[in-house]
Amino acid sequence: MQPKVLAMAMAGIGLSLAAGTTQAQETFEWKLVTSWPKNFPGVGQGPERLAKLVEEMSDGRLQIEVFGAGQLVPGFEVFDAVSEGTAEIGHSASYYWKGKAPAAQFFAAVPFGMNAQEMNAWLHYGDGLELWNELYDDFGIDVMAAGASGVQMGGWYNKEINSVDDLDGLKMRMPGLGGEVMSRMGVAIVNMPGGEIFTSLQSGAIDATEWIGPYNDLAFGLHQAADYYYYPGWHEPTVMFEAIVNEEAMASLPADLQAILRTAVRDVNQDVLDEYTARNNDALQTLINEHDVELRRLPDDVLAEAKEISADVVAELAESSDMASKIYDSYRAFQDKVVNYHAISEQAYYNARNPDGDTTQ
C-alpha cells in the first residue's frame, strides 16, 4: 500500500473509532412522571429504584429524573404526558386510562380475576404483554409490567357494612372495573388520585375508599379518617403497575440501553411485590394493635352480589370492541388454566397449612 493511501486508511479508521467512542459515551436524560406521591412507600419507591438501577447499569449513560404526581403533570395525566413526549417514561396503573382505552383495565385489575403471580405469568409467558403493547400502539407507547400490589384490602368505611343495603348511597373512591361494580350496587363512585384521598375521607367528601393495603394505607394515615377496615379486596386481586415509554424515545436509545431499561423494569416488577408482601402484615398489626382499627370481613351477601355483577361488567367490557374481546379471550383462557392447577397446588396447600382458617399455622 502506498504511504499516502495507508495514511488515509489509518485516518479513516481513527475517525471511525472516534465516532464509535462518541456514540458509546452518549448520554440521555429522561423525565419519569408518576401517579403517586414522590417517594411514597412501595409503589412510589418503584420508580426511584428503576432510575437508580438504570443509572448504575448504564454507567450514567441513561439518567432518569423522577417526578411525583403533580410535580410535573397531575397523576391522571401521566399517559398523555408520555404519549405526547412531555416525559419519556411514566409509572402508573392502566385502569386510569379507561376513558382513552377501556380495555386497558384488563391489565390493571379484574374483580375476582388473576392474582399477581398469575398475572405475571400471563404477561410474560402468555400473550398478555404483547396484547398490552398492541393496545397502546395507537398512542405511541411501549409498555412493561412494573410492579404488583398483591391482593388488596376491601377498603375503609365510615359506617359498618352488614349487608348490601348498607352500601346504598355511599360516596366511595374506587377506580376501574371494581368501581363500576360498586356503582351498580348503589355506591356513588368518585375518582381521585391517591394524594387526595385522606382529606376527602376526613372532610366527608367521600364516605369510603380503597387504596392499596395496610402498608400504604398506614402511610396515608387513613385510620385517622375512617373506623372500619374491610377485607378481602375482591375488586383488585392485584393491581399490576405499568412502566409506559414513549416509543420514539425508546427507539432513540442504543440497543444496550434499551436492554438495560427493560431488565431494570423487570427487576422493579418483582421488587415492588416483594416489598408489599414483606410490609403489609406488620402494618396491619400496627393498625389493629396501636390504632385500634376494626378489621372486618365483608358480608357474604356483599361478596356474592359483587361476584355476580362483576361477571356482567367484565363481559360487557369484553364485548365493547374487537380488541377488548381479543384481550379478554386470552385473559380468560389463561385464568382457566392456572385456576385448575392452583386448585391442587396453591389453594390446596393453603387449606392444608391453615385448616379452618387458622392463621397461626
In a structure prediction context, what are the per-residue pLDDT tens digits for the chain, which is 361 residues long?
Answer: 454 444 444 445 444 444 444 455 799 999 999 999 999 999 999 999 999 999 999 999 999 999 999 999 999 999 999 999 999 999 999 999 999 999 999 999 999 999 999 999 999 999 999 999 999 999 999 999 999 999 999 999 999 999 999 999 999 999 999 999 999 999 999 988 888 999 999 999 999 999 999 999 999 999 999 999 999 999 999 999 999 999 999 999 999 999 999 999 999 999 999 999 999 999 999 999 999 999 999 999 999 999 999 999 999 999 999 999 999 999 999 999 999 999 999 999 999 999 876 554 4
Residue 361 in grid coordinates:
399455622
| DSSP one-letter string for 63-90 | EEEEE-TTTSS-GGGHHHHHHHTSSSEE
Task: State the pTM of this model.
Answer: 0.90
What local confidence, expressed as pLDDT, does residue 356 receive? 76
Binding residue positions for Na(+): 211
**What does the domain layout of the chain look like in residue ranges?**
28-148+238-277, 155-237+280-321
Whether domain 28-148+238-277 has CATH 3.40.190.170: the reply is yes
Question: How many angstroms separate the CA atoms of 311 and 316, rounded?
Answer: 9
What local confidence, expressed as pLDDT, does residue 359 receive? 57
261 bridge partner residues: none
Question: How many angstroms separate the CA atoms of 47 and 147, rounded?
Answer: 10
What local confidence, expressed as pLDDT, does residue 154 receive? 97
Element (H, E) at 208: strand 208-209
What local confidence, expressed as pLDDT, does residue 193 receive? 86
What local confidence, expressed as pLDDT, does residue 195 receive? 86
Binding residue positions for substrate: 152, 173, 210, 236
What local confidence, expressed as pLDDT, does residue 280 receive? 97
User: 26 phi and psi, to 5 degrees?
Assistant: -60, 135
188: helix, coil or strand?
strand
Domains 28-148+238-277 and 155-237+280-321 share a fold: yes
Binding residue positions: 152, 173, 210-211, 236
What local confidence, expressed as pLDDT, does residue 355 receive? 84
Question: How many angstroms separate the CA atoms of 190 and 181, rounded?
Answer: 13
CB contact set of 109 (below 8 Å; sequence gap of 6+):
93, 95, 176, 177, 178, 235, 236, 237, 238, 239, 240
User: CATH class for domain 155-237+280-321?
Assistant: alpha beta
